[in-house]
Every structure is written in C-alpha cells, then in structure tokens.
Amino acid sequence: MQNAAFFIKYKLHHLIIWMLVFGLWFFLRYEDYALEATAFKVTLIKVADLALMVYITNYLLIPKLLYKRQYFWFGLSFIVVILTSSIVKMNILAQITNNPALLSVSGNLKARIYDNIIPHFFLVLSGAAFKLMMDYTKMQQRMVEMAKEKAEAELNFLKSQINPHFLFNSLNSVYFLIEKNNVEARGALHKFSAMLRYQLYEMNGDKIAIEKEMEYLKDYVDLQKLRKDENYAVTFNCSPDVKGFSIEPLLLVPFVENAFKHISHHKNQLNFIKLDLWATNGFFHFILENSKEAVEKNTDKHAGIGLTNVKRRLELLYSGKHKLEIKNSYDRFSVSLQLQIIN
C-alpha cells in the first residue's frame, strides 16, 4: 500500500504506462525500418510527442478552458496544438529517417496526413476522454462522500435531539415515584442508571444489538408506567424471535415517547398503549397503538418533532428498506413499522 501511494504521489505510474506504450509501439513497428536504432529513435519521438500532447490537453486545456465552458477556445487550441505538434514531429522524423518527402507539400500529402496527423488527433483525444472519465468518477465519489458526511452529521444532530428528551422524561418518572413509594423508587433508579449507561457507553456506534435496544425500550416503558394508575393499560409484547440482528440506536423510542405523551386521559373508559414487536422472514415488525383524546384528526400536531426526527432517520438509514404507516383516527393513534433486517 505504501509503495502504491508513493508511485501515485510522484506520478511514477505515468512513467511505467508510457514505457509500456513505447515497448508495444516499438515491438509492432520496428520491422518497418532498416535499422533498429532508427526504429528506436522514431518510436521515442512519436511516444514523447504523444505524451506531451496528452499532458498539455489533460492538464492545461481541459482545466483552463473546457471546465470553464470556453468550448470554442478549447476546440481551437486543441486543433492548433495538434497541428503544430504534428508538423514539428514530422520535421524531426524527416531528419532521422532522411526522408525530406515528409515535409513536402507535393506528393501524397493525404497519405502523410492520414499517417501522422489523424492518428495523433485520435490518440490525444482518447487520452482526453480518459481524463474526463476519471475526473467524472472522482467527482461522483466526492459527491457520495459529501452526501455521506452530510447524512452522518444530520444523524448525529438528530441523535443529540433525542437523548435529552428521554433523560428528562425518565428522571421525571423517578422523581414522581419517590413521593409515592421509596422501595419502587430504588428499582426505578436502577433502571434509570441502566438506561443512562446505555446512552453514554453503548450506543455510540452506528448499530446496536436488537436485544440491548429492546432492554432499553422495556426499561423506558416500565418507568413511564410508574406515572400511570390502574385506569391505564400498557402492554409490551416482544416475541422471542427478536434477536440476532442490529438496529440503529434509539430508533424506536420516539414512537413510544409520543404514545405516552399523547395518551388519552378518560375517566370512564380504559386508556391504553399496546406495543407488539416480532421478526419474521427477514423483517422486523414494530406495531404501536394508543388511545387519545377524541379530537379533530391532526396527524402533524400529534406526531410533533419526535416523529419527524425518526422519519428522517429512517429515510437516511433504511432508504428502500422500510415501510412506515402512521394512522391518526378519531380516538386512537397507531404506528406500523417494518424494517428489513440487515446483519
């Protein structure tokens, strides 16, 4: 790897490529000349001239003119450079081969143009096309890297918005319980410390084991249940097959937080939150439903920033690999999320 980087840094791979071009050219054309020394000189001049024109085109004309959309001047400069180079090259070759006819305007001029100028033109043009293709590839790679960097920055920002929400909500639950039952408060503090440990030390990577995420989610639900009385039914059903794969940390909790935030407060009928999770056929399923106050349907108001946040994270992380359905009816709100399991 270090040797390759050294070669690329100092453009030594260019030298190797042109040496190979020289060797192949000499091998194919040396029989056309009486002396190998003459064939060597002619080949050297032709390859050197070709290399010079390729570098002038690729590193001067293309960056200075073509990329600045000065198409007329690029085309004119390209033709002038090729013609000038071809004339100079033929003058040198005429001296090496003792063939003054190469410079004569009489005789078979078309043949000389065909043998010297036209191949030169297309060879340099091929080098320019390769340069354009490489630059386009690098630009595409850079765009992908920039998009990835932007997505990662956005995800980090979204995560930073999530953490304080859960910490404050969980801490409020513990504080509420201390006034009611000190024994249960100690258990709640243990869960809270486990959740805090999870956020500080375990969820810093891109993915987390689904088992740990479920444990965190269950602790959060248990803490929130402590603030509800017997008129609230909260069920958490997680199938044993939810294991053996990874998920984005804190991807599901905003849905649960939203349910607790907007749950109904009926006095004469049951208020509920029902959560079902299972995995089958390569997909993870998350179904959440909660009762809510019977008010005019308004999904945006019920969803809030938390769900907007998680929707964006799903778009960034599971593009084309998830299905999210949110229903907001007269007296209940439901979320159905299906994620493709990625190991």
Distance CA 156, CA 150 (A): 10
Instruction: Answer whether 0.75 is exceeded by the pTM.
Output: no
- What CATH fold (topology level) applies to the domain 144-340? Heat Shock Protein 90 (3.30.565)
What does the angle CA 64 – CA 68 – CA 69 come to, to the nearest 5 degrees? 125
Distance CA 303, CA 299 (A): 6
For residue 336, the model assigns a pLDDT of: 95
For residue 89, the model assigns a pLDDT of: 79
- DSSP code at position 102: G
pLDDT for residue 286 is more than 80:
yes
In terms of pLDDT, which residue wins out, 179 or 335? 335
Distance CA 112, CA 114 (A): 5
Distance CA 341, CA 343 (A): 6
**Cα-only R_g, the chain:** 36
Distance from the first to the final alpha carbon of the chain:
30
Distance CA 221, CA 213 (A): 12
Torsions phi, psi for 277 (to 5 deg): -135, 135
pLDDT tens-digit profile of 148-178? 666 665 555 555 555 555 566 666 666 666 7
Percentage of the chain beyond pLDDT 70 is 72
Q: How confident is the model at residue 7 (pLDDT cuts 50, 70, 90)?
A: very low
- DSSP code at position 198: I
For residue 343, the model assigns a pLDDT of: 67
Percentage of the chain beyond pLDDT 90 is 15
Report the candidate in 252, 263, 255, 193 with the shortest Cα–Cα distance to residue 228: 263
With beta carbons less than 8 A apart as the criterion, state whether 54 and 85 touch.
no
Place of tokens 């001296």: 95
For residue 102, the model assigns a pLDDT of: 60
Q: Output the six-digit token pair for 82.
A: 């090729």
pLDDT tens-digit profile of 300-337? 444 556 778 788 888 888 888 899 999 988 888 999 99
For range 137-151, the mean pLDDT: 74
pLDDT for residue 299 is more than 50:
no
Distance CA 299, CA 225 (A): 24
Could you tell me the residue ranges of all domains in the chain?
2-107, 144-340
Helices (H) and strands (E) in the chain, counts: 10, 7
Cα separation values, 112 from 54, 83, 94, 178, Å: 21, 13, 12, 99
For range 234-252, the mean pLDDT: 91
Distance CA 255, CA 338 (A): 13
E-state strands within the chain: 208-209, 232-238, 246-247, 271-280, 283-291, 322-328, 332-340
Distance CA 34, CA 38 (A): 8
Distance CA 97, CA 215 (A): 85
Q: Output the six-digit token pair for 207.
A: 């993915």
Mean pLDDT computed over every residue of the chain: 77
